[in-house]
Amino acid sequence: MAACGWTPGEWTPSAGFLGRQVNPRPEPVTLTGSGGLHGELIAGSDQSPVPVELVDAVVGTELRRWLSPPERAALADASQHAAVAERNAKVAWAAQPPDGAAGVAGWASPISDPYRAGHGAICRDVRQALTRADEVIVQSLSLCREETGLGGTIWVAAHWP
């Protein structure tokens, strides 16, 4: 068909009405200053709060022994927000004890772009921190997105099958 001047793959006709209905163009994706994906692109459409029984699955082992259950829950919540935040953004957390004593605080920050782990889950490396008096305790761990029973998603520490 060289006489027609058409070579397959060189020219594609513009989509008509039916083509736009069947195969619409995707929404434009805005990249951030860091160039990484974040927000709903990696969180899914329904990010669930961390159930009480899974809080310890979100907090790294080093910080787990320093924190009370309410403090671990605050860090787990901040880690959920950090897992979908722009790289190097710090998500602050704080917990105030019920007796009015001085509370503890810290932050969580994503330190990598999202990636697909060897076991198939979407994961992200997150740094968790606890600030106490004049010391800061920091640890890094990988959080992977998992589906919950009701169709939502949460980020938990990577566990390899």
Determine, yes or no, domain membership for 27. Answer: no
Going by C-alpha positions, the residue among 132, 66, 135, 143 that lies closest to residue 109 is 143
Residue from 83, 96, 100, 94 nearest 145 by CA:
83
Decide if 121 is inside a domain: yes
As for how many domains the chain has, the answer is 1
- Percentage of the chain with pLDDT > 70? 67
Q: Is residue 17 part of a domain?
A: no
User: Of 35 and 70, which is predicted with more confidence?
Assistant: 70
126 assigned to some structural domain: yes
Q: Is 78 part of any domain?
A: yes
pLDDT of residue 56 exceeding 80, the answer is yes
Q: Is residue 21 part of a domain?
A: no
83 phi, psi to nearest 5 deg: -65, -25
pTM higher than the cut 0.85: no
**Residue 126 lies in domain:** 32-157
